[in-house]
Amino acid sequence: MASDPRELPEIIQDSEKGGLGERMGVEWLDVTPARVVARLPVAGNTQPFGLLHGGASAVLAEATGSVLANLNAGAGRYAVGIELSCSHHRSAREGFATATAVPLSLGRTLITSSISVSDDDGRLLCSARLTCFVKDA
């Protein structure tokens, strides 16, 4: 799926208008209930030493995991993040960080996703887990 906003699910179109993901340069690459993939540029999302900021990886992980949870929440329901855990394995100075979120557990009230954030060479930068609480709209 291209990152053209007209091609994205409504959930992303609405959430990206002036949001953090838009300011960080998040591009949505694949958005399905089985897998959500997005990336952001390292440039502009670094800490003072020129490395990808760990918080940028966390934002990307939470964004992809939240979209995945909402796509699986069911009609008339929505999901909100309640716990995010990130382990940072290596750094990046250039290119893109790409997150891939897949479901670990799709329950009635809790949805947990596993998210891998990798560099352009496919090396793991960060592994994350997001748990979302599913509520009635």
List, by residue number, the catalytic residues: 62
CA 53/CA 22 separation, integer angstroms = 17
Torsion of CA 17, 60, 101, 123, to 10 degrees: 140
CA atoms within 13 A on the CB side of 17: 5
Specify whether the backbone of 50 is left (phi greater than 0), alpha (psi in -120 to 50) or beta.
left
d(CA 76, CA 61): 24
Reported residue count of the chain is: 137
The angle formed by the CA atoms of residues 130, 132 and 137, to the nearest 5 degrees, is: 155
